[in-house]
Chains A and B, each alone.
Chain A
Amino acid sequence: MTNSKPPVPSRPLRVAAEVVENAVEGPGNHRLVLAIPGWPGAEPGQFVMLSPGGSSEAERTDPLLPRPMAVYRGHAAAPPGGRAEVEFLLKVAGRGTRLLADLAPGQSIRLVGPLGSAFVPVAPGKRAILVGGGTGIASLYELASRGTEDAEVHVILGARSDGDLMGVDDFMALGVNCHITTEDGSRGRKGRVTDTLGELLEAPGPPAALFACGPTPMMHACAKIAFERQLECQVSLENNMACGFGVCLGCAVPVHSGGYSLVCRAGPVYSADQVVWEGLS
């Protein structure tokens, strides 16, 4: 295990944020920037709950529930009495994310956060391999940016096709080793992120630690590779959520220690060997 400790997350707040920017980054992909008053800052891997469709609950009962969204960039706290700009990468998946994609600058949106657990940081002297599939890469940016000083950091970014890739330039600008894969070969290497992961692990170097966020089958595949090679592996799960702060018990995931764990509170970040992968739908 790493000798690093998990960071202590800040107390969440509930607040109305202002949309600063909502840029199209490809088909159905958006970069949403919110100005959040009193933002306490976030740790890598944490998320917020965003209420689609207006700032007042009275305006909207359908869709009813807020949507979980990983904090992409903007992990520093707002100055006293001020606002912080926080960035999200979102992919339109259904009605809720469609409404979020339609938000215009100047509109206000309610959010609750920051929520959930954070990645245990990259340990010095390790080779950190971050594996992001689809919007899962959003959870990994801050981790990649913090890891660069004393560890060798590789980021594998994968998507179905070039148009589905987001944030690649941001990761490149960090100066970490970026490896791009697409399933149709339209950009970078043709194949899956796990193909590239396998190759990196064959190369000589310091012991690797894996950090994965993306579709469940991708994270499960990373977990298997980590298990076979006895590597540490942290994953950030994306279960359906209703509340995001541990009261509805809707986001439960079966764990090896027995019973269920709440992804919104004990997670979304887990050590891959804690999760009963077969129990995830």
Chain B
Amino acid sequence: MTESVDTRVDLGGIALRNPVLTASGTFGYGTEFAPFMDLAALGGFVAKSLTLEPRSGNPPPRIAETPSGMLNAISIENIGVEAFLGERLPELPADVVVIASCFGTDPGNYAELAERLSASPRVAGIEINASCPHVKSGGIEFGQDPRLLGELVERVRAVTPKPLLVKLSPNVTRIDDMARVCEASGADAICLINAVQAMEVDVESRRPVLSNVLGGLSGPAIRPIALRMVWQAAQAVSIPICGVGGIITPEDAVKFMLCGATAVQVGTANYLNPAVGREVAEGIAAYAARHGFPRVADLTGALRLPGAP
């Protein structure tokens, strides 16, 4: 039954064999997962956010568990664009769809990164990380100010012919405004949400649990917030949306699609189950079959609102 379902989706010009991507920062550079699954079973994956130069992260403790979630303040530790293009990308099988994530402190960095990454035929798309919740400068500054965000997206748009995705922060008052700015500035799709800015305290030591004090909350704890934001963004724009936040089961992913997402990204769940991406992809197809949808793409926006049949 599942075999007869067409699982393909188009995410802003990126042809995906199924709607499941794995989220930046939770899937390394891909090969780390090769012992656990065939990477080609995924729609694709978003690599760890890259900077122009290699970058070291925050001192420990960098992570802490919270109810149904986790806090992190890694601070975009990464190998840098050169090592990514020269060493990691060539290790990946040709049938794996790779989206590169860019992080910078000003629009110039982002544009330079996007330009270098776009030169590689192995990069299927560019994701702008305009939303890291715990880096002192860059990222979230852009994701919280519609004017800066618009400038950033235009600047990157001008240098890349590849499908351009913008990853939005939930730490804003009006997500619909941010979504509209992306659409107007030339983004091909938007991804939301990044981690929610948060903190936790150890009462015995009276210290914040993270060395950085503030961190980003991820995992099932944030899923209803993410779902709400995807729903609001879907009302505001017509470019495709990739839903991210707290997905661990196929049903979680289906919820995002029903609220208007074309595809989804699975993040924190990769840590507890390194084969979760494949399982979610298979489960979405099974759901579609069970509910009589010939194509998983038909799930997008198929929410039945109160009063509707």
Contact = CB atoms under 8 A, between A and B. Distances in A.
Chain A bound to chain B: yes
Interface of B: 25-28, 32-33, 35-36, 56-57, 59-65, 67-70, 72, 74, 77, 211, 219-220, 248-249, 268-276
A245 B274 contact: yes
B249 A58 contact: yes
18 contacts: A12-B36, A13-B36, A14-B273, A58-B249, A62-B67, A64-B69, A112-B36, A240-B64, A242-B70, A243-B274, A245-B274, A246-B28, A247-B27, A249-B77, A250-B74, A251-B62, A252-B77, A281-B60
Interface in A228-281: 239-240, 242-254, 259-260, 279-281
Contact of B74 (A110, A249, A254, A279): A249
Contacts of B27: 247
A58 B61 CA distance: 28
Interface string A86-129: 00000000000000000000000010100000000000000000
A12 B62 CA distance: 25
B270 A65 contact: no
Contact of A57 (B61, B62, B72, B269): B269
A51 interface: yes
- The prevalent SS among residues of A at the interface is loop
A4 interface: no
A146 interface: no
Interface of A: 11-14, 51, 57-58, 61-66, 110, 112, 239-240, 242-254, 259-260, 279-281
Given A58-B249, A65-B271, A65-B272, 7 more contacts: A61-B68, A63-B65, A66-B271, A242-B268, A248-B26, A248-B74, A250-B74
B273 A242 contact: no
A66 B273 CA distance: 9
Contact of A64 (B70, B72, B249, B270): B70
Contacts of A249: 25, 57, 62, 74, 77
B63 to A, nearest CB: 3
A248 B270 CA distance: 9
Nearest to A244: B271
B35 A57 contact: no
B61 A281 contact: yes
B12 to A, nearest CB: 26
B87 to A, nearest CB: 15
A57 B248 contact: yes
B65 A65 contact: yes
Contact of A12 (B35, B74, B211): B35
A6 to B, nearest CB: 19
A74 to B, nearest CB: 20
A250 B248 CA distance: 20
A53 to B, nearest CB: 11
